[in-house]
Homo-oligomer: A and B are copies of this chain.
Amino acid sequence: MKIGIIGLGTVGEGVLKVLTNEKESIFEKSRADIKVKYACDLNINRDFSFDFDKSILINDYKKILNDPEIKIVVELIGGETIAKQIIIEAFEAKKSVVTANKALIAKYGVELFQRAKQNGVSFLFEAAVGGGIPIVTPLMESLVANTVTEIRGIMNGTSNYILTKMKEDNLSFDEALKIASEKGYAEADPTYDVDGIDAGHKINILASLAYGGSIKFKDMQLSGIREISTVDIFSANQLNSTIKLIASSKLLSDKSVQISVEPTLIPNSEILAKVDDVYNAIETTGSYTDKTLFYGKGAGMDPTASAVVADIVKIVTRNHIESDYFFNSTKVFEIVDSNTVKDSYYIRVSDDFDIENSPFELINQIENYYIILANNISKNEINEILKDAKERLILRVMK
């Protein structure tokens, strides 16, 4: 199936890269044969980080919309005016659309879905929420049996990075924002990220998917993290809690929801309190599944491209994947003996073991046992050294 990509910014370039480098692997797994016929951007005379057939580059998106061979338009220019127009024109040309444009869906989701349906085409947007984290498809399809009443999570990586830095390095908001900008995590104007607008778009989309119907974005209450000070971070810590920018939505009745984005104190015992740096995590509460949490990289070229490509494959296969790739007998893997792999190990050995004349360093002595931590050694080697000890336990240590 032939597709056209419109917009070669970070995500667009990522999608072109994945579809170029993984063409065969994607076909092997899904039987989806995806060919990028055009990749459109205003600036096409620039360097790219990978090799591909440059003849697909064009700067007039109309060429994609007017080509009857193109079945899927991948809209990745962002913004709300031209992007919206392109998507509507694509629908009218009977082309399916894949996008990562969260603002557009949060604000014009109802209209866009309606137009896609009128034209009998698909409109998919896994990448709009949670970047590389599968959440839109799991919410719509895997949790289909459930009434999902509550959704809450950390949906903006930039603000989460700033809050993490403030806590870990005892920085003010302005100092942490400066580091985020230097690292490329914050834009020149960080308003969308730090004032809760980006997270607002995302929770709007998820809530609309969970509850059906729609929620007016402009009526949502959004607040950000600019007011958080080191005093608050310190006080939260004293309360065994961590401050996170939480987007949340709760179905209150058939007709009403509580939905907001606001900095929130989370008890450190909750997994959400452990979600640091640019990572995102989204927790859904379903009537049958109870709590399910999805965690991963919420932004960036590669993770977001991964989600866009999953949507393209979905439209191409119009089906669940049933290729020869999974569970076949042509490729039976050899299993490497774990006991020969060098790793870090925790050792508990009875104190008849002659630790003085061993290569091991004692960490602790409890009851009649020595406790040892050993690095860069295999289980077989440890067992050989401990072979005369009365009792021993060896546990791998995860790095």
- Chain A interfacial positions (CB closer than 8 Å to B): 14, 18, 22, 25-26, 28-30, 105, 109-110, 112-114, 117, 122, 124, 126, 132-134, 137-138, 140-147, 152, 207-209, 211-216, 219-221, 227-229, 231-232, 234-236, 238-239, 241, 243, 246, 252, 255-260, 262-267, 269-272, 274-275, 286-297, 302-303, 305-307, 309-310, 313-315, 318-322, 324-339, 341, 346, 348, 363-364, 366-367, 369, 371, 373, 393, 395-399
Q: Does the CB pair A143–B147 fall under 8 Å?
A: no
**Known interface pairs A137-B137, A262-B396, A295-B271; A143-B306 also in contact (CB < 8 Å):** yes
Q: Contacts of A238 on B, CB cut-off 8 Å? A: 363-364
**Known interface pairs A296-B290, A346-B265; A259-B302 also in contact (CB < 8 Å):** no
The answer, among B110, B122, B271, B286, for a CB contact under 8 Å with A306, is: B286
Add 13 more A-B contacts to A212-B325, A213-B331 (CB < 8 A).
Answer: A117-B324, A124-B320, A133-B289, A134-B292, A137-B141, A213-B332, A214-B328, A214-B329, A215-B333, A239-B363, A258-B335, A265-B346, A315-B320
Query: Which B residue's beta carbon lies closest to that of A227?
Result: B393
Q: Does the CB pair B239–A346 fall under 8 Å?
A: yes
Q: How many Å lie between the Cα of A293 and that of B132 in the bound state?
A: 11
Chain B's nearest CB lies how many Å from the CB of A293? 4
Q: Does the CB pair A215–B335 fall under 8 Å?
A: yes
Q: Does the CB pair A260–B338 fall under 8 Å?
A: yes
Q: Does the CB pair B146–A142 fall under 8 Å?
A: no
Chain B's nearest CB lies how many Å from the CB of A219? 5
Most B C-beta atoms less than 10 A away, residue of A212, A321, A325, A364: A212
Q: Does the CB pair A265–B212 fall under 8 Å?
A: no
The answer, among B146, B219, B314, B395, for a CB contact under 8 Å with A263, is: B395
**Known interface pairs A288-B132, A334-B257; A265-B397 also in contact (CB < 8 Å):** yes
Query: Which B residue's beta carbon lies closest to that of A218?
Result: B335
Q: How many Å lie between the Cα of A395 and that of B236 in the bound state?
A: 10
Q: Does the CB pair A289–B296 fall under 8 Å?
A: yes
Give the interface SS of chain A, mostly helix, strand, loop or mixed: mixed
- A-B pairs with the 9 shortest C-beta distances? A213-B331, A134-B142, A292-B296, A132-B289, A293-B295, A109-B327, A288-B306, A145-B309, A288-B302
Q: Contacts of A334 on B, CB cut-off 8 Å? A: 255-257
Chain B's nearest CB lies how many Å from the CB of A85? 19
Query: Which B residue's beta carbon lies closest to that of A367?
Result: B231
Chain B's nearest CB lies how many Å from the CB of A326? 5
Q: Does the CB pair B336–A257 fall under 8 Å?
A: yes
Q: How many Å lie between the Cα of A138 and that of B26 in the bound state?
A: 15
Chain B's nearest CB lies how many Å from the CB of A96? 10
**Known interface pairs A310-B143, A321-B140, A397-B241; A255-B333 also in contact (CB < 8 Å):** yes
